[in-house]
Amino acid sequence: MAESTANPALLEEVRERLESFLADGGHRKTPERFVVLEEIYARGGHFDVDALQERMKQRGAKVSRATLYNTIELLLEAGLVRKHRFGEQSQYEPGYPSRQHDHIIMDNGEVLEFCDPRIQQIKATLEEHFGIEILHHALHIYARKK
């Protein structure tokens, strides 16, 4: 179930991307930012702030809630994290490599991913029909095991 573990090449890649992003934006290269990034990519999969803080603690890194929120905000801007609101609390997932997908939220909280090309077709139809420019979308499927 665990989405496998640390892909060293991926970790290196996202670390570099964060470094560039921080440099470009004039942000500082603090250790907290990199530890958070690594923890997110080390395990992969979806998480909320509570779970992330718990994982940080187990890793032996103490990062405050405020810093977690700040850092996630930064990672969102950097495209290294994506944000979702399936239920009450916000959930996040690694944002790289960027791959379009949607979500199935199981009644036990588990989250599956899928990708169906028909969604792009629907979006094309909508753009034409309504004369709009679609910025993004979210398809949430709520289901249970049969």
Q: Which is nearer to DNA, 86 or 96 (CB)?
A: 86
End-to-end CA distance of the chain: 18
Output the smallest distance, CB 122 to DNA, in A.
Answer: 28
> Among residues 57, 81, 85, 61, which one has the least CA distance to residue 69?
81
Which one of a copy of itself, DNA, none is in contact with 100 (Cβ closer than 5 to 8 A by kind)? none
* Cis amide bond preceding 97, omega within 30: yes
DSSP 131: T
Which one of DNA, a copy of itself, none is in contact with 69 (Cβ closer than 5 to 8 A by kind)? DNA
Instruction: List contacts with a copy of itself (CB under 8 A).
Output: 85, 104, 106-107, 112, 114, 116, 118-119, 121-123, 125-127, 129-146
CA distance 52 to 37: 11
DSSP 47: B
Which one of a copy of itself, DNA, none is in contact with 144 (Cβ closer than 5 to 8 A by kind)? a copy of itself
Q: Which is nearer to DNA, 83 or 132 (CB)?
A: 83
Question: Alpha carbon of 138 to those of 7, 17, 106, 133, 141: distances in Å?
Answer: 28, 25, 16, 15, 10
Q: Which is nearer to a copy of itself, 33 or 46 (CB)?
A: 46
Q: Which is nearer to a copy of itself, 62 or 137 (CB)?
A: 137
Output the smallest distance, CB 110 to a copy of itself, in A.
Answer: 11
Amino acid at 44: G
Which one of a copy of itself, DNA, none is in contact with 38 (Cβ closer than 5 to 8 A by kind)? none
